[in-house]
């Protein structure tokens, strides 16, 4: 009787705890979002070094230039640089109504 109990105990301890630990982990397949080109160059109407920020819908200068000799393009000088829009987006702070309450 003791030998049978010991044999059952040995056989029980030799079995794996569960079949899941010996299988390869399953990968969760999440749909990947396509990469977004945030700043698209605007080449129509002869605009050079101007891009569209596809996240905000705002035009921006691709580098920090100033039109001096073209009065028709003087308004483009007021456009922010694409880099400044990118940095502003990185520093966005979300404020909730609970944050506005005073103690």
User: Which is nearest to 42 in space by CA: 31, 57, 30, 32?
Assistant: 57
Q: Please report the beta strands in the chain, taking only residues with DSSP state E, as ranges in sequence order.
A: 39-41, 50-53, 58-61
Q: Is the pLDDT of residue 99 over 90?
A: no
Burial 25-61 (b: 16+ CB within 10 A, else e): eeeeeeeeeeeeeebeebeeeeeeebbbbeeeeebbb
At 60 the pLDDT is 94
SS3 86: helix
Taking only the tens place, the pLDDT of each residue in 37-96 is 899 998 876 777 899 999 889 999 999 988 888 777 778 889 999 999 988 877 766 666
């Amino acid at each position: 009787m003791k030998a049978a109990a010991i044999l059952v105990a040995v056989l029980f301890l030799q079995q794996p705890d569960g079949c899941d630990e010996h299988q390869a982990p399953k990968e969760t397949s999440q749909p990947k979002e396509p990469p977004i080109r945030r700043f698209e160059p605007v080449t129509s109407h002869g605009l050079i070094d101007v891009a569209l920020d596809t996240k905000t819908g705002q035009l921006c200068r691709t580098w920090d230039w100033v039109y001096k000799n073209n009065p028709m393009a003087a308004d483009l000088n007021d456009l922010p640089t694409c880099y400044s829009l990118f940095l502003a987006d990185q520093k966005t702070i979300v404020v909730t109504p609970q944050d506005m309450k005073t103690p």
